[in-house]
Amino acid sequence: MRNLSNAMKKHLTIIILIIFTACQENQETTEEHGIKGLYEYDERVEKLVRKMSLEEKIGQMTQLDFSLLLDSADKKNMYQDPTYKLKLNKELAKELISKYYIGSFLNGIAFSSQNWFEFCYQLQEINLETHPNQIPIIYGIDHVHGANYIKEGTVFPHQINQAATFDTSLARNIGEITAAEACHLGHTWNFAPILDIGRNKFWSRFYETYGEDPWLASRMGESFIKGIQEYNGTKPYKMVACAKHFFGYSDPKWNYDRAPIEIAPQTLYEIFLPPFKSAVQAGVRTFMVNSAEINGIPVHANYDILTKLLRFEMGFEGVVVSDWEDIIRLHTVHKIASTPKEAVYLAIMAGIDMSMTPYTTSFCDYLKELVLEGRIPLDRIDLSVKRILKLKFDAGLFEQPYPTDKFFNKINRTEHQGINLSIARQSIVLMKNEKNILPLSKNQKILLAGPAAHSKRHLTGGWSYLWIATQDNFHPSDMLTLYDAMKKEFQSVELATDINTLRSKANSVSAIVLAVGEAPYAEGFGSINDLDLDKDQQLLIETALSTGKPVIVVMIAGRPRTIPTLYDKIHAMLWAGLPGTQGGIAIAEILSGKENPSAKLPFSYPYKQGKTLPYYHKFSEFSPMHPYQPHDERLRFWIAPFGHGLSYTQFEYSDLILSDTIVGAHVGLQTITARVTVTNTGKRDGKETVLWYISDEYGSYTRPVKMLKHFEKQEIKAGESVVFTFIIEPNTHLSYSAENGETLIEAGSFVLQVGGLSKRFVYAAEPEKP
């Protein structure tokens, strides 16, 4: 600059300052609107994005329902006729793709593997012939408990049952089998797992969760994700998982699905966020967003949650998809957007990458207008498109976009059904067994009654072959109901289809089994005001009790329906949840004693619906003014707490030992090793799940009475002992979240609890520097 005049130097300095200021302002603007989001650079993606038109890019951000590809008559027939064959209307498909370049379709019901293969092949073929840049479609579907939308697919117990096994290897098995059976048919994107915390027992999607505990949900969820995404038995075909519904969705204040949520920030971070953090660490490729509002702000328009938290704090780099129609609902339901177009603006600027519209292309038109008007920068569009294209590259769709019929032999294998039955057996909780009434002798004469006694759909629940099955005709012909299974397991089983029949046959039997619970439901169609079992089924239980015969209740339901006036009167109870297509066999085998029950409740089963608190409640729930008195009818709140589950053998815990009573880096101890001995004191082999809890005696925020921090399940032979070990790592097991998300680990006393035993230890924090 020494050859320039002073005037020129001054002028150039001003220009440089203007440019520098503009760059700073642009950086602040892009950060404010989420444009500077996390994205791992990929040259294949960058090259493709440079070639795409604005319309193509917006098409990649759009997801439509598969029904838009069908004739109008087919949309009705497919839900009524189990033999219906899915038929693609090629003209409709070509029109949507050529005009809007749609990047994703979703949804379905139980069609055959051949039918799915043909449909997805034809759809992809039309897309690649029509799309100017030959970008493959990614198809999304809710295989939430196995390949539940493939007619021949393996349909496992729902997630609430999976959690009751306390076995993460089984969750991984389910992920692997789901991928093996579905990914090669064109089902590349699976909208699972559900990582919402099941605290609200009224919530209609409770059965889709891994229960009320964040540690359990985190471990099961990450195992499922790894199972799906790491499965390589159908190369080059892959499946990507979706962590949903981010986050806090499962605890609506007044119980109804998609209703407003009011949760303290500290609770959101400590209880509801951990499973989603674990999903990111497990490498999950996509997230789906909470449909509701949290503390007054709909999550689909919440930049703090979708960009600051998910992207910047958690480091998620993948695709964020809306839930069903939830962008337009910012206008029609939440009323924070005065027009549908404004709803699109709010959602995209908050951090949504793809809109599950799913029945309209208006999203494409609104988004194009917003870009052309300059309200949404093109960089913001490019960021989402890059994430979506990277997802498609990583899923192998550019390598092999077409499905194949070469892997049909992967579907419904004998070993898959064997694993399915094993999971069902390990998912059913023996809650009560007075005087060891169970197991029943195989030569006993048994009377079976109840609405779930001879029903397939009660065992599988929602999201099984149909979204909500109203009859059994879509279920496999060889699937056994509980009645079918019991007839194979016992010498004499009679079915009572009504109360009068029950009364008339009761005298001739030695025990009555009542299969009660809930018919299938899903989402808002399962919303209830009353957690009590309905009056007709309670009357059925009362009638059975009046006969004087032993009464065993089998609760087949997606949530813990309460029977407060009857629970103490019945002789035994199984919580069967929604145990899937092998559930009838599993229940029958537990009733007969062929299978020794090993499941434990992944939630606290309420006594009455007025107080349905989780096991990790605060100390202040009880005080000197209203102390906990388990035999006081007014203060009895559980019939069984989280972790409860009986066996046909007995386990005794002893010799809880800690390697030290103080831990902390500056005292030279990074961890404490805890050991406990568990002895099978009964006469038969059995599986036991050891649950390790830690209680923080004092904290800056009020602490729960205890929190699960480790679990392990092993089979223990009769008369033998096994030593279980838990290595306590302060950063992992003693920390918790503040209301701003900051991780706190505070010095003080902690109590380790396992199997009724406890030991106190101290965490010594590093002294503050002067």
Predicted confidence (pLDDT) per residue in 105-141, tens digit:
999 999 999 999 999 999 999 999 999 999 999 999 9
pLDDT band at 767; cut points 50, 70, 90: low
Supply the pLDDT for residue 5: 45
pLDDT value at 4 more than 70: no
Long-range contacts of range 762-768, CB-CB < 8 Å, 24 or more positions apart?
Answer: 762/661, 762/662, 762/663, 763/662, 763/663, 763/664, 763/730, 763/734, 764/662, 764/663, 764/664, 764/666, 764/667, 765/664, 766/664, 766/665, 766/666, 767/666
Predicted confidence (pLDDT) per residue in 63-91, tens digit:
999 999 999 888 888 999 999 999 999 99
Supply the pLDDT for residue 693: 98
| Beta-bridge partner residues of 673 | 727
Predicted confidence (pLDDT) per residue in 204-252, tens digit:
999 999 999 999 999 999 999 999 999 999 999 999 999 999 999 999 9
Give the distance from CA 612 to its chain's centroid.
20
pLDDT value at 52 more than 90: yes
Annotate 469-508 with b (16+ C-beta within 10 A) or e (fewer): beebebbbeebbbbbbbbbebbeebbbbeeeeebeebbee
Nearest Cα to Cα of residue 598 among 441, 418, 428: 428
Cα–Cα distance, 461 to 581 (Å, whole number): 10
- Greatest C-alpha distance within the chain: 114
Question: Is residue 241 within 8 Å of residue 190, measured between CB atoms?
Answer: yes
Cα–Cα distance, 164 to 154 (Å, whole number): 19
More confident residue, 7 or 624: 624
| Beta-bridge partner residues of 676 | 724
Long-range contacts of range 464-467, CB-CB < 8 Å, 24 or more positions apart?
Answer: 464/145, 464/148, 464/155, 464/520, 465/109, 465/110, 465/148, 465/149, 465/151, 465/155, 466/79, 466/109, 466/110, 467/109, 467/522
Predicted confidence (pLDDT) per residue in 92-101, tens digit:
999 999 999 9
pLDDT band at 15; cut points 50, 70, 90: very low
Instruction: Order across the sheet with 672-680: list the strands.
Output: 651-658, 672-680, 721-728
Supply the pLDDT for residue 769: 60
Cα–Cα distance, 313 to 704 (Å, whole number): 25
Predicted confidence (pLDDT) per residue in 395-441, tens digit:
999 999 999 999 999 999 999 999 999 999 999 999 999 999 999 99
**Candidate list 323, 353, 382, 696, residue with the active-site label:** 323
Place of tokens 């066996």: 647
Cα–Cα distance, 628 to 4 (Å, whole number): 85
Residue 323 annotated among the catalytic residues of the structure = yes
Supply the pLDDT for residue 76: 83
pLDDT value at 25 more than 70: no
Task: Give mean pLDDT, residues 713-729.
Answer: 98
Nearest Cα to Cα of residue 578 among 257, 160, 163: 160
The burial class, CB within 10 Å (0-12 / 13-18 / 19+), for 402 is: middle
Cα–Cα distance, 204 to 521 (Å, whole number): 8
Q: Which of 295-299, 329-333, 617-621, 763-767 has the lowest mean pLDDT?
A: 763-767
Residue 424 is encoded by which pair of tokens? 């069902």
Share of the chain above pLDDT 90, in %: 89
| Beta-bridge partner residues of 514 | 449, 553
Predicted confidence (pLDDT) per residue in 438-461, tens digit:
999 999 999 999 999 999 999 999
Cα–Cα distance, 593 to 583 (Å, whole number): 15
Report the chain's mean pLDDT, rounded to a whole number. 93
Angle, alpha carbons 338-290-276 (nearest 5°): 145
Question: Is residue 524 within 8 Å of residue 292, measured between CB atoms?
Answer: no
Supply the pLDDT for residue 14: 37
pLDDT value at 7 more than 70: no
The burial class, CB within 10 Å (0-12 / 13-18 / 19+), for 432 is: buried
Task: Give mean pLDDT, residues 705-733.
Answer: 98
Cα–Cα distance, 118 to 127 (Å, whole number): 14
In the DSSP assignment, the letter for residue 646 is B
Q: Spell out the residues 6+ positions from residue 755 whose beta carbon is closer than 8 angstroms to its own.
A: 651, 653, 656, 676, 678, 690, 691
Nearest Cα to Cα of residue 360 among 385, 324, 396: 324
Share of the chain above pLDDT 70, in %: 93
Place of tokens 């910012």: 330
pLDDT value at 721 more than 90: yes
Supply the pLDDT for residue 41: 80
Nearest Cα to Cα of residue 581 among 441, 750, 461, 702: 461
Cα–Cα distance, 193 to 282 (Å, whole number): 12
Q: Which of 13-27, 456-470, 752-766 has the lowest mean pLDDT?
A: 13-27
Place of tokens 């309460």: 562
Nearest Cα to Cα of residue 765 among 706, 714, 698: 698
pLDDT band at 19; cut points 50, 70, 90: very low
Place of tokens 């490498």: 283
Question: Is residue 88 within 8 Å of residue 121, measured between CB atoms?
Answer: no
Task: Give mean pLDDT, residues 240-266.
Answer: 96
Determine if the peptide bond prior to 641 is cis (ω within 30°).
no
Q: Spell out the residues 6+ positions from residue 98 whose beta carbon is closer than 8 angstroms to its own.
A: 130
Question: Is residue 182 within 8 Å of residue 239, measured between CB atoms?
Answer: yes
| Beta-bridge partner residues of 415 | none
Residue 65 is encoded by which pair of tokens? 């329902």
Supply the pLDDT for residue 768: 59
In the DSSP assignment, the letter for residue 270 is I
In the DSSP assignment, the letter for residue 597 is -
How many C-beta atoms surround the C-beta of residue 319 within 10 A? 25
